[in-house]
Structure 1
Amino acid sequence: MRQETHRLSFRSHGKGLLPVTRPVLEWVRQTGISTGLLTLWCPHTSCSLTVQENADPSVREDIAHYFERLVPEGKDLYRHMDEGPDDMPAHLRTMLTQSGLSIPVVEGAPSLGVWQGIYLFEHRRVPHHREIVLHLLGE
C-alpha cells in the first residue's frame, strides 16, 4: 500500500464552477497507483468541491443561478460582511455543498461516470487563488 499527496493551485474566475478534472486525472495517472481511494480536500471556507455533469455547460449555469436564489446576497441579510456582501453567502454556500470528495481509483483513474466531472465551486464574486489537496491511498 502506498500514499501520495499533492496540491493543485487554481485562479478562479469569480462565482461559478471551475472544471478541475484534467489536472486531477493527470496527477493520479502520474502516481502509478492503479487501485485505491482518492480524497480531494478544499482548504477554504468560501468555495467547495462537487462532482457534476461535464457535457452541457447550461447545467453549471443553472446550478450557479440556483445557489444565487437559495443563498442571496444583501447587506441587510447578514451581520458578517468583513470582506463584502458576498462574504457570508459564500460561507453558507460552502456549508451546503462539500469541502471534500472521495473517489475510488480503478485501473489507474478516478472512477467517474461518463458524464461526470470534478469542479471547484467558487462562491465569491472576484477571482481568488484556490488550492485543492489530493491524497491517494492504494497500490
Structure 2
Amino acid sequence: MSRVPSLSSPFLLGFDEIERALDRVAKAADGYPPYNIERVARDDGAPERLRITLAVAGFTRDQLDVTVEENQLVIRGRQVDDQPRQYLHRGIAARQFQRTFVLAEGMEVLGADLKNGLLSIDLARPEPERVVRTISIDAQD
C-alpha cells in the first residue's frame, strides 16, 4: 500500500522537506522522558521564545547532550547502571533516551539549563524579514 503525500496539492511547490519532517515527527512517539513546551513572552527587548523542559531526574550535566543536527534538536541522556548497589525495589530506571524535535528554518537554540532535575532549552525564532520582489516580464515580440 503506497502512502498518498499529504502536501500533494499543485499549489504547494517545494514542500518535500516539510513532508519528510512530518514523517520524522510521526515516528518519534516514545514518551520518555516527559516534556513541556511553553511560549515565553518578550521581555527587555528579547524576542519571544519557546522553552522545552524535559524531566531528567537522576541525570547529571555530564550524562546529557544537547545538539542541533540538520534542523533537529536532539537531546540524549546516558546513565550507567550502578553495579555495586543491591536494590530491594527498583522504581527509578537507569536508562538511556534520545528525544528529537524538528526545528523550523531559522530557529535558534539560545541555551540549555539543568536545575532540580529539569532540563530547559530556550529557542528563539527571529522575526521574518518581509521581502517583496518585482519580477520583470520579458516581451517575446
Structure showing greater radius of gyration is 2
TM exceeding 0.5: no
- Please, what TM-score do these two structures have when normalized by structure 2? 0.26
Q: When you count helix as a share of all residues, which structure comes out higher?
A: 1
Greater RCO, 1 or 2 (C-alpha within 8 Å, sep 6+): 1
- Please, what TM-score do these two structures have when normalized by structure 1? 0.27
